[in-house]
Amino acid sequence: MSWMWRIYEDAVQQLDREAQEYVRLHITAELSLEETARRIGVSRSYLRRYGGGRLAALVRDAITRMVLQMTPEDLAGIVHAMDSLGLLNEEEMSRLLCVPVEVVVDSQRGRVDRLQRGGKPVGLCRAG
């Protein structure tokens, strides 16, 4: 599922520059909060704005936007790839993709409809 890591990497790229630096230095490079703050040029207490689940919420929101903006075909392909592994149920797939379970179910149905009728997927949720 290297494509899933790609989605998460792309989501981090959607964050503002400061949040990206925080991820790169503190999360990925495992620098201390003090060293991360020094390199970014802010106070340690300022960086606490990314603690307590706030960074995770920012990444989740970015993933949700990206997934909902995918073409129906791309989303159906990802859902199909996840489903074909047989490791995740629909709820788990929806949590991993940061979208409501209905998006996963609609995507699965769209893929089945396309395979059965040779047409385009129907009923997919897409961003505005």
CA atoms within 13 A on the CB side of 81: 11
- Residue 62 scores a pLDDT above 80: yes
Look-up of token digits 């703050």 = 37
- pLDDT score of 89: 93
- Whether the CB-CB separation of 123 and 114 falls below 8 Å is answered with no
Q: What is the pLDDT of residues 4-38, one digit of tens each?
A: 788 889 999 999 999 999 999 999 999 999 999 99
- pLDDT score of 112: 53
Q: What is the pLDDT of residues 32-61, one digit of tens each?
A: 999 999 999 999 999 999 998 999 999 999
